[in-house]
Amino acid sequence: MRFSRISGFAAIGFAITIVGGNLIMAPAGLPLAGAEMAEVDAFFAEHGDLVGLVSGFLPAAWVLATLFGAGAVAALWTSERKRGEAWSLVGFAGLIMQNITFTGVIAARLALARTAPHDTTATTGLWALHDALLTLNGTFLATALLGLSVAGLRAQFIRPWHGGLGFLAAALQFTSASLASLVIKEESPLGLIGLTGWLIWVVWIVLYGIRLIRTTAA
């Protein structure tokens, strides 16, 4: 199987994994950014096993995201090198940084699941760190979206409307990250900025994966 196809399926697999995890956690009552500590304590005390189960799928998601990024670079690099550009590398760097940052998010959740049933004194600090990392992760999602959208458009690898989706999602994610101190202060409509950008990001990466599957590049 061509590497472009592998990376395309990896993009789709990544999207399925992260959406699936959220479809499990959200109905269970995962608190939103800025939630009250009593709500956070109650959730992690009651659903620690669920948090651990869902967290077990995330390492695979990070590997899939890396495979997608590497495949996108491989498909675009020849064209970029001729123009003396490296937008695809910018996008790949964003993917790697979001993997690292989200590792911190999941580590905070696992720590909360471990401590909340026995001692809630660490909840405030761990949840604040969780919210901050989750919101600031928009910076790196925006970097990935921007870099790979520009690279794809410049190489005529993706359609203009697909690139436009990437730019819109990047703008929303970056705005959310820039407003992180307000987003995590308390539950508010500001959280919808990042959520909307995240949903568009999922659609964008699935479409990019489909394009990689269909490409004739090696």
pLDDT tens profile 31-43: 998 888 999 999 9
What is the structure's pLDDT at 216?
67
The CA distance from 119 to 114, in Å, is 9
Residue 151, CB-side half-sphere exposure with 13 Å CA sphere: 29
- Give long-range contacts, CB 8 A cutoff, 24+ apart: 106-111: 106/55, 106/58, 108/133, 109/44, 109/51, 109/55, 110/51, 110/52, 110/55
Query: pLDDT grade, residue 44 (50/70/90)?
Result: very high
Classify residue 63 by its DSSP letter.
Answer: H
pTM of whole model > 0.85? Answer: yes
DSSP state of 85: -
Going by C-alpha positions, the residue among 6, 7, 14 that lies closest to residue 198 is 14
Q: What is the mean pLDDT of residues 107-127?
A: 91
Q: Tens digit of pLDDT for each residue in 137-184?
A: 999 999 999 999 999 999 999 999 999 999 999 999 999 999 999 999
Q: What is the 3-state secondary structure (H, E, C) of 101-144?
A: HHHHHHHHHHHHHHHCCCCCCCHHHHHHHHHHHHHHCHHHHHHH
128 vs 35: CA distance, rounded Å: 10
Mean pLDDT for all residues in the chain: 94
CA geometry: angle 177, 163, 20, nearest 5 deg: 60
| DSSP-assigned letter for residue 27 | H
pLDDT of residue 218: 39
Query: Angle CA(80)–CA(82)–CA(86) in degrees, nearest 5?
Result: 30
